[in-house]
Amino acid sequence: MNSTTTLPDAKRVGMVSLGCPKALVDSERILTRLRADGYAMSSDYAGADVVLVNTCGFLDSAKEESLAAIGEAIAENGRVIVTGCMGEEADAIRAAHPQVLAVTGAHQYEQVVEAVHEHAPPSQGPFVDLIPQPSDSDIKLTPRHYSYLKISEGCNHSCAFCIIPQLRGKLASRRIDAVLREAEKLVAAGTRELLVISQDTSAYGVDIKHEPKPWKGREVRAHMTDMARELGQLDIGNGTPPWVRLHYVYPYPHVDRVLPLMAEGLLTPYLDIPFQHASPKVLKLMRRPANEAKVLDRLKSWREICPEIAVRSSFVVGFPGETEEDFRYLIDWLEEAQLDRVGAFRFEPVEGAAANALPDPVPEAVKEERYAALMEVTERISAAKLEAKIGKTLPVIIDEVGEPDEDGDIGANGRTQADAPEIDGAVYLRNVPETLAAGDIVDVRIEEADAHDLFGVIEPR
Ligand code: SF4
């Protein structure tokens, strides 16, 4: 019998953000990082387990304002962590407000996140990082050179295994000008890769009737294709566009229209499409959107338009009612689809989801077997796809540069355009110059591959 998982109560963090737009981006970064760690946001002092005050210390008047804001947060809540520009003057802050729990300086994301973990330890639970928490700010960012750009909240679908529409409500798209301004701000603050996220990216703007807004002297619609084209015209320096990835794209017909943008280099040739299954019967039981038979044909035509496109997806095995025949259908489909990256989950009931009432649960042992069989197939496909990259030279964005080893060799790791951070593979580099930094985009000659990652060396430009 299946057990039901109860969502744990998340710890809540309040934020008072003072100062310039860059400080606001920092606040967003901190909050979204905390959200990724399972915290929820509180819009008032009373509901917060801890309050962050992001200060400004540029002018004396700003310092006064910062000290006043810290005083107010202490009076209203009592549990206060200070960060931001005035954090450089920790002594002055502690002299005025000895009760503050911790003081960290501007851009010290790790330290401030650590301080929150120390003073309000996060709730633990298997679904905490799967279900986004409500918040006023919608960017997730780790580390600085890539940023998550959230374009809408909520969802109009009712997939049987999902409670997000109950938690977050119907689709509520952000205005296109607000999305683009935020993207521009992120790029100005050092972002070189934008990851567009939502619960249903292809549905962006449906709720606001794709309302156009003026942007740089032209009218731009709140529509995935228009947004993608504009994001591809931002400039990270020397007229180079940022890498722009679309996540959580359902294969509605208009998705075909972003392929030419990839072929033109305005959009990273990558689509994250959570297919979840292939069997029409299971998809129907799951009540999945854009569930139509022609997906394999469309994958083929996308590859004709943009041969470099990488498609990542996720699948659920052991959904109630999934028979051996349905599972075989999925495996055959995967063999034909040749997806670049695949994540898989064994079905687990979540409290409140419609799927819990479905008959014919799949026994745990069968779920395990199917999971293992699916992973074997997708790893084989991934290994062959990565092997085919050996000898090629590919652009790689650097995520991390190491320290020199005993021979003075410095290693680094990064990602190709086919790899999103945190969910896909990496490229490991040897002998990198010491001037290399996170966020640099370099040409890498691929020398080796395994089932997940690539290994290579930088080619001089
Ligand atoms: S599309 Fe389905 S799985 Fe995705 S958020 Fe909406 S209901 Fe949940």
Residue-level pLDDT, tens digit, the chain, 461 residues: 334 444 457 889 988 887 654 566 577 778 877 887 788 888 788 889 999 998 876 566 678 888 999 999 999 999 999 998 888 788 889 999 999 999 998 767 778 888 999 999 876 543 333 333 333 344 333 457 998 888 988 899 989 988 878 877 899 999 999 999 999 988 998 899 999 988 899 999 999 999 999 999 999 999 999 999 999 999 999 889 999 999 999 888 888 999 999 999 999 999 999 999 999 999 999 998 766 668 899 999 999 999 999 999 999 999 999 999 999 999 999 999 999 999 998 998 877 888 888 999 999 999 999 999 999 999 999 999 999 999 999 999 999 999 988 888 999 999 999 999 878 999 999 999 999 999 999 999 999 999 999 999 999 87
Reported pTM:
0.71
**DSSP SS3 for 29:** helix
Which residue's C-alpha comes closest to atom 1 of ligand 1?
A: 157
Which residue's C-alpha comes closest to atom 4 of ligand 1?
A: 199
Query: Which residues belong to CATH 2.40.50.140 in the chain?
Result: 393-458
**DSSP SS3 for 440:** coil
User: What atom in ligand 1 is closest to the CA of residue 199?
Assistant: 5
C-alpha to C-alpha distance for 120 and 375, rounded to whole angstroms: 37
Query: Which residues belong to CATH 3.80.30.20 in the chain?
Result: 146-387
Structural class in CATH, domain 146-387: alpha beta
315-340 b/e with 16+ CB inside 10 Å = b?
bbbbbbbbeeebbebbbebbeebbbb
Joined together, the tokens standing for residue 323 give: 């028979």
User: What atom in ligand 1 is closest to the CA of residue 165?
Assistant: 7
User: What atom in ligand 1 is closest to the CA of residue 248?
Assistant: 4
List of long-range contacts for 438-441, beta carbons under 8 Å, 24+ apart: 438/143, 438/144, 438/145, 438/398, 438/399, 438/400, 438/401, 439/144, 439/145, 439/190, 439/192, 439/397, 439/398, 440/397, 440/398, 441/192, 441/240, 441/243, 441/395, 441/396, 441/397, 441/398
Query: Which residues belong to CATH 3.40.50.12160 in the chain?
Result: 12-119
* R_g over Cα of the chain: 23
Joined together, the tokens standing for residue 283 give: 């998809």
Q: Tell me, what's the pLDDT at 33?
A: 77
Cα–ligand 1 centroid distance for 200 (angstroms) = 7
The CATH superfamily holding the domain 12-119 is Methylthiotransferase, N-terminal domain (3.40.50.12160)
Q: Tell me which DSSP letter residue 85 carries.
A: G
Residues with CB under 6 A from ligand 1: 155, 157-159, 162, 164-165, 199-200, 289
CATH number at 393-458: 2.40.50.140
Distances (CA, A) of 252 to 108, 203, 298, 367, 422: 41, 9, 11, 30, 26
